[in-house]
Chains A and B, each alone.
Chain A
Amino acid sequence: MAQHGLSDRVAIISMGCTRFAEHFDRSADELAIDAVTEALDGAGLACDDIDAFWLGTYVSGISGMALARPLRLTGKPVTRVENMCATGSEALRAAVYAVACGAVDVAMAVGVEKLKDSGYAGLISPKTQDDGTRVNTSAPANFSLLAPAYQQRYGVTPELFRAAMTHVAWKNHANGALNPRAQFRKEVSKESIERSPAVAGELGVMDCSGVADGAAAAIVTRAEDAPKYTGTPLYIKALSLVTGDGSGAADPRYDYTSFPEVVHCAREAYAQAGITDPRRELALAEVHDCFTPTEIVLMEDLGFARRGNAWRDILDGVYDRDGELPVNPDGGLKSFGHPVGASGLRMIYECWLQLRGQAGARQVATADRGLALTQNLGGAPGDCVCFISVVGSRPG
């Protein structure tokens, strides 16, 4: 038994993405309609032309009716999927598989999230009924566990690790400042990042991703049908999902300096896409920078940096927009914002723009590199799901 890649059988022919922001004036339904409409218009299609829909939303709707209702889709299969922060990517995965297996000709993946109706500053996660025994830590607290563990394992001083965390936030804000659809569109000084109010462990507010509302959508078809809709489709090179067994806290072998789920997921994705040296083969990577230490560790788990070296690469600017491998050129979760169910498709949307030369002021070099990676992480260190895609502008 093995997983098999899709070998360019499926292509993205159009995408849409709202601005990610505190959309106090817009409902989840409206955000979904906006993203869907943009995607349909880009391909010259109408809702009726889509054979099947997958809606990814974490907390903003229940069942496929959360999409069918606002769009007034009639007679269509519409399914809601959820896989924590990989929710939007999960919608894409379902749509791609439906096309790849021949069940439908044209499918749409939609991710939408409305977080700012809760009245709370951070993310409010749904919980199953339990007995209150489990420690109810916040997401920043969970990810803050990475920092002391990493510093101890690799002998990195708190000051240097802090500098690397700061660089991640600074870089992603600098990138987001160039992105008209980002939640935060201004550069932030390193000093103000380091002075931001404490949230959890070594993390301050400016080490946390933006909590935002937003939606994104993608339309996929079989690769051979793509030219009917666009001259510049994006080909699906790899889709990989690894769901952790949640044993990290219990297992003494887990030391909070890595995400084993990401390592497994990347190995599978690179095998599907035929990538052997991601740092030199990828034009860009959109990774799950939910908190600044996460991006540091991901550089190693994704094979962009040697173990224990990501902090140094980051400080050397390797992952800056003009660096050797631009990471999160659209601003990432940090400054583009993180409406959970939409984020996976937002990452694909940046690849869509960058690989097709439409990223404007933040365009990265793609002449020699036609591949891009997106990666989502949902959960906490030791207890997470990971999704990775590789998309490319050229088939074969």
Chain B
Amino acid sequence: MQPSTTQIDRRPVAGIVGYSAYLPAYRLQRGEIAAAVGSSARGVRCVAGYDEDSTTLGVAAALPVVRGREPAVGSVWFATTDPVYADKTNATAVHAALELQPGIVAADLGATLRSGIVALLTAARDGGLAVLADRRGGPAGGADEREGADAAAAFLFGEQDPLAYVTSTASVTAEFIDRWRAPGAPDGAAWEERFGEQRYAELADQLLAQLSSAGVELGGVCRFAVTGINARAVRTVTSAVRKATGAEPEGGDLPDIVGNAGAAQAGLALADLLDTARAGEMLLLISLADGADALVLRATDAIAGRRGEPLRAQVDHGVTIGYPQYLLWRERLAAERPRRPDPDRPSAPFAWRNRQYKLSMTGGRCRKCGAVQFPLPRVCYQCHTADEFGPVSASGQTARIVTFTVDRLAFSLSPPLVSAIVAFDQGGRLQCELTDVRQPLGVGDEVVPTFRRGATIGGIRNYIWKARPVYPATSVAPGPAGAGRES
């Protein structure tokens, strides 16, 4: 196979106008996993809560990026190796939760490791939103389970005042067997890493040649990152790129402190690059998956003011869970069934009628008396006026706990169920589940809405908005303290 050295002209739009990475709250010591199979390991992996899946992780990453820019989002490209549905598109739930315009495309890119970088390249071409979200695991005690991670990142591309220009992209494609998994199977497989290492080394050379011939001054690269599931290949290619550019690699420690988030890993690496980039710096992101893909960016003056919560601040902000808890959450161990009837299958017509509340957390404000209520009612509870409401979204708003309870009897994917009445600062009160509770709760505690999964019944995954307490980074207690993590 001959490398292509001529770039087909698919000029990207100006650049990235917003980005965000999301690490779920939980951390698992790899040593604990390894010990279960008589082995040892260093480092930590990031673990999604029992109520998070690739769709909710994607929403969590994308919400801060999209908020206030909904009309500017031209498309949604969703990348994961762990889709909730086949046949049915997963990006549509992301689109709904983000309250995006109906008149755009929202699509999944297939359950492949390459889909993450492809989402970035595709969104870069059409001013779209790339949502990279993944939950990675494998056979109990094995390398994939230890080294995987659950995480997400989102990038919005556009013309208007980008924080980094996309100066070039490049792709090389090759068919060979390195990593594979049957559709729907929980566990994947790998060929001997050295085989893939060689292939990716060749592909990276071709990729760099393609960039050079497209006019990219490799010596001008200030920071770069290489990602991929084949750790040997990533190390080898990192050395080669360092040699070719003279720049220092970034994010080489992410696999040890976060893990490898599969299709989302390129997103984490890019977010990490952008978190520390200074105006004018040239950045290079390379992904190794069934080929090699590159994204070359130049940070602008806008970058300093446009960053979200840095990835590394989230890395240090986790709660450690035990390995049995992980296995229960992943349903690798069958937990005792709650002594309550299983919930009913969510009604599709009901959910569709209720979509603005169910998926977008939208209610109404009475035009007569101003009372805010969820979901949008026909009749105001306060002044009894009918059908006079303006839309109000609770997504992104802060609320306070009015009263709460820990329910040891109700059905929950991870008992006990913690619920609260929460009052939004902008008005409106509702009852919802709380999640990611790390400390004892109190009346008046600040919470924010978060999009989560409920039970899956008859193959239908129930999505709901919950609320999670907001903790200042310094006050987090180490270790389990709240919902779902009590012995």
**A252 CB-CB contact with B under 8 Å:** yes
Q: Which of B340, B344, B351, B431 contacts A249 (CB 8 A)?
A: B431
CB neighbours of B423 from chain A (8 A): 252
Q: How far is the CA of A142 from the CA of B404 in the complex (A)?
A: 9
The residue on B at minimum CB distance from A133 is B358
Count contacts on B: residues with CB < 8 A to the other chain.
43
Whether the pair B410, A124 counts as a contact (CB closer than 8 A) is: no
A263, chain B: closest CB distance, angstroms: 17
CB neighbours of A131 from chain B (8 A): 346-347, 350-351, 354, 358, 462
**A132 CB-CB contact with B under 8 Å:** yes
**B339 CB-CB contact with A under 8 Å:** yes
Stretch from A105-113, A196-204, A319-327 contacting the other chain: A196-204
CB neighbours of A137 from chain B (8 A): 405, 407, 410, 417, 419, 431
Whether the pair B409, A249 counts as a contact (CB closer than 8 A) is: no
Whether the pair B344, A132 counts as a contact (CB closer than 8 A) is: yes
CB within 8 Å of A: which of B317-347?
Answer: 339-341, 343-344, 346-347
Classify chain A: how many residues form its interface, as a range.
Answer: 20 to 34
**B374 CB-CB contact with A under 8 Å:** yes
Whether the pair A200, B403 counts as a contact (CB closer than 8 A) is: no
CB neighbours of B347 from chain A (8 A): 129-131
Q: Which of B341, B408, B464 contacts A132 (CB 8 A)?
A: B464
CB within 8 Å of B: which of A125-176?
Answer: 127, 129-133, 135-138, 140-142, 144-145, 148-149, 152
Residue from B343, B409, B464 whose CB has the most chain A CB atoms within 10 Å: B409
**B123 CB-CB contact with A under 8 Å:** no
Whether the pair B405, A144 counts as a contact (CB closer than 8 A) is: yes
CB within 8 Å of A: which of B390-440?
Answer: 402-411, 417, 419, 421, 423, 428-433
**B455 CB-CB contact with A under 8 Å:** yes
Report the number of A-B residue pairs with Cβ-Cβ less than 8 Å: 118
Whether the pair A120, B340 counts as a contact (CB closer than 8 A) is: yes
Whether the pair B341, A124 counts as a contact (CB closer than 8 A) is: yes
Q: How far is the CA of A127 from the CA of B350 in the complex (A)?
A: 14
Q: How far is the CA of A199 from the CA of B343 in the complex (A)?
A: 20
**B26 CB-CB contact with A under 8 Å:** no
Q: Which of A129, A140, A148, A252 contacts B403 (CB 8 A)?
A: A148
CB neighbours of B382 from chain A (8 A): 247, 251
- Type the 1/0 row for A208-235, where 1 means its CB is closer than 8 Å to any CB of B: 0000000000000000000000000000
CB neighbours of A120 from chain B (8 A): 339-341
Whether the pair B405, A201 counts as a contact (CB closer than 8 A) is: yes
**A250 CB-CB contact with B under 8 Å:** yes
Q: How far is the CA of A256 from the CA of B340 in the complex (A)?
A: 26
CB neighbours of A130 from chain B (8 A): 344, 346-347, 350
Whether the pair B357, A127 counts as a contact (CB closer than 8 A) is: no
Whether the pair B410, A250 counts as a contact (CB closer than 8 A) is: no
Q: How far is the CA of A142 from the CA of B409 in the complex (A)?
A: 11
Q: How far is the CA of A198 from the CA of B486 in the complex (A)?
A: 13
**B454 CB-CB contact with A under 8 Å:** yes
Q: Provided the pairs A120-B341, A148-B443 are in contact, do residues A198 and B408 lie with their beta carbons within 8 angstroms?
A: yes
Whether the pair B381, A138 counts as a contact (CB closer than 8 A) is: no
**B90 CB-CB contact with A under 8 Å:** no
**A379 CB-CB contact with B under 8 Å:** no
Whether the pair B429, A249 counts as a contact (CB closer than 8 A) is: yes
The residue on B at minimum CB distance from A381 is B403
Whether the pair B429, A256 counts as a contact (CB closer than 8 A) is: no
**B373 CB-CB contact with A under 8 Å:** yes
Whether the pair B409, A140 counts as a contact (CB closer than 8 A) is: yes
B322, chain A: closest CB distance, angstroms: 22
The residue on B at minimum CB distance from A130 is B350
Q: Which of B339, B351, B411 contacts A136 (CB 8 A)?
A: B411
Whether the pair A251, B407 counts as a contact (CB closer than 8 A) is: no
**Residues of A contacting B: mostly:** loop
Q: How far is the CA of A245 from the CA of B377 in the complex (A)?
A: 12
B425, chain A: closest CB distance, angstroms: 12
Whether the pair A132, B421 counts as a contact (CB closer than 8 A) is: no
Whether the pair B454, A250 counts as a contact (CB closer than 8 A) is: no
CB within 8 Å of A: which of B445-487?
Answer: 454-455, 457, 462, 464
Whether the pair B381, A247 counts as a contact (CB closer than 8 A) is: yes
Q: How far is the CA of A19 from the CA of B65 in the complex (A)?
A: 63
**A61 CB-CB contact with B under 8 Å:** no
- Type the 1/0 row for B342-379, where 1 means its CB is closer than 8 Å to any CB of A: 01101100110010011000000000000101100000
B338, chain A: closest CB distance, angstroms: 10
Q: Which of A124, A200, A249 contacts B421 (CB 8 A)?
A: A249
CB neighbours of B428 from chain A (8 A): 250
A142, chain B: closest CB distance, angstroms: 8
B386, chain A: closest CB distance, angstroms: 14
Whether the pair B410, A132 counts as a contact (CB closer than 8 A) is: no
**A361 CB-CB contact with B under 8 Å:** no
Whether the pair B403, A135 counts as a contact (CB closer than 8 A) is: no
Residue from A124, A133, A136, A144 whose CB has the most chain B CB atoms within 10 Å: A133
CB neighbours of A1 from chain B (8 A): none
Whether the pair A133, B354 counts as a contact (CB closer than 8 A) is: yes
Whether the pair A141, B409 counts as a contact (CB closer than 8 A) is: yes
- Type the 1/0 row for B104-124, where 1 means its CB is closer than 8 Å to any CB of A: 000000000000000000000
Whether the pair A256, B402 counts as a contact (CB closer than 8 A) is: yes
Q: Which of A132, A144, A200, A201 contacts B343 (CB 8 A)?
A: A132
**A367 CB-CB contact with B under 8 Å:** no
The residue on B at minimum CB distance from A383 is B431
CB neighbours of B351 from chain A (8 A): 131-133
B432, chain A: closest CB distance, angstroms: 6
Q: Provided the pairs A132-B455, A251-B381 are in contact, do residues A200 and B406 lie with their beta carbons within 8 angstroms?
A: yes
A141, chain B: closest CB distance, angstroms: 4
The residue on A at minimum CB distance from B430 is A249
Q: How far is the CA of A135 from the CA of B455 in the complex (A)?
A: 12
Q: Provided the pairs A124-B341, A199-B409, A251-B381 are in contact, do residues A141 and B403 lie with their beta carbons within 8 angstroms?
A: no
Q: How far is the CA of A133 from the CA of B356 in the complex (A)?
A: 12
CB neighbours of A198 from chain B (8 A): 406, 408
Q: How far is the CA of A144 from the CA of B416 in the complex (A)?
A: 14
**A42 CB-CB contact with B under 8 Å:** no
CB neighbours of A127 from chain B (8 A): 344
A247, chain B: closest CB distance, angstroms: 4
Whether the pair B429, A250 counts as a contact (CB closer than 8 A) is: yes
Whether the pair B358, A141 counts as a contact (CB closer than 8 A) is: no
Q: Provided the pairs A121-B339, A247-B381 are in contact, do residues A141 and B402 lie with their beta carbons within 8 angstroms?
A: no
**A395 CB-CB contact with B under 8 Å:** no
CB neighbours of A199 from chain B (8 A): 408-409
Q: Provided the pairs A120-B340, A249-B421 are in contact, do residues A138 and B407 lie with their beta carbons within 8 angstroms?
A: yes
CB neighbours of A144 from chain B (8 A): 405, 407
Q: List 23 A-B contacts (CB under 8 A).
A: A122-B409, A124-B340, A124-B341, A127-B344, A131-B351, A132-B346, A132-B462, A136-B417, A137-B417, A137-B431, A141-B410, A144-B407, A148-B443, A149-B402, A149-B443, A152-B443, A198-B406, A198-B408, A249-B431, A250-B430, A252-B429, A256-B402, A256-B421
Sample of 18 more A-B contacts, CB < 8 Å, known A124-B340, A131-B354: A120-B339, A132-B462, A133-B357, A135-B419, A137-B405, A137-B410, A137-B431, A141-B406, A141-B410, A145-B403, A148-B443, A198-B408, A199-B409, A200-B407, A201-B406, A249-B429, A250-B371, A250-B428
* 5 closest Cβ pairs, A-B complex: A141-B407, A247-B381, A131-B351, A138-B409, A201-B405
Interface of B toward A, CB cutoff 8 Å: 339-341, 343-344, 346-347, 350-351, 354, 357-358, 371, 373-374, 381-382, 402-411, 417, 419, 421, 423, 428-433, 443, 454-455, 457, 462, 464
